């Protein structure tokens, strides 16, 4: 079963939304995946997602209230097939943290979306509430593209 870890800075806004969106899309499509999220920082470890993230997910029919923040670990690089950064700073931090023998493939979330390679998911933490709608649009586009890609890969391997 393919496994993906989404990583942002705090693990309370963008990566829990990416996790929620992918869980929902995979369930909708009947695709089995392992999904988790983490932060490069540890300031919010143990906390639920930001209430603005919980709200935007809920408005779109997805419940992320049970998620709890944690910091990414070196063991994650052996556990997950894909570690997916939400922005370039997260990706840079992951490259620095990656053990030499880590097998996880690193990418940016929007690399998975045709036409959006190399783009970052903007950090909505310091901005207006509308920023979370933009985050939701980005993570749902990525969730659709990820399920599409992994389904095709699974079919090709059959
Ligand atoms: P996230 O947003 O990386 O999308 O979870 C942030 C959450 C918290 C902080 C920064 C970004 N912070 O500075 O505490």
The structure tokens listed for 127 are 């901005």
In angstroms, the CA 90 to CA 70 distance is: 14
In angstroms, the CA 118 to CA 111 distance is: 6
The pTM assigned to this predicted structure is 0.98
CA-closest residue to ligand 1 atom 10: 10
In angstroms, the CA 93 to CA 64 distance is: 25
pLDDT 10s per residue in the chain (158 long)?
999 999 999 999 999 999 999 999 999 999 999 999 999 999 999 999 999 999 999 999 999 999 999 999 999 999 999 999 999 999 999 999 999 998 999 999 999 999 999 999 999 999 888 999 999 999 999 999 999 999 998 889 88
Ligand 1 neighbourhood includes 10 CB (under 6 angstroms) = yes
The structure tokens listed for 124 are 């909505």
Domains of the chain: 3-157 (3.40.50.2300)
Atom of ligand 1 nearest to the CA of 90: 3
């Amino acid at each position: 079963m393919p496994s993906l870890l989404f990583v942002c800075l705090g693990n309370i806004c963008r990566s829990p939304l990416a996790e929620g969106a992918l869980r929902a899309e995979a369930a909708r499509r009947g695709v089995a995946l392992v999904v988790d999220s983490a932060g490069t920082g540890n300031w919010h470890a143990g906390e639920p997602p930001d209430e603005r993230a919980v709200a935007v997910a809920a408005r779109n029919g997805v419940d992320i209230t049970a998620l709890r923040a944690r910091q990414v670990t070196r063991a994650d690089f052996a556990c997950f097939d894909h570690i997916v950064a939400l922005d370039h700073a997260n990706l840079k931090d992951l490259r620095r943290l990656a053990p030499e023998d880590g097998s996880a493939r690193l990418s940016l979330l929007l690399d998975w979306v045709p036409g959006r390679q190399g783009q970052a998911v903007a950090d909505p933490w310091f901005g207006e509430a509308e920023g979370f709608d933009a985050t939701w649009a980005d993570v749902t586009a990525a969730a659709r593209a990820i399920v599409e890609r992994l389904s095709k890969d699974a079919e090709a391997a059959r």
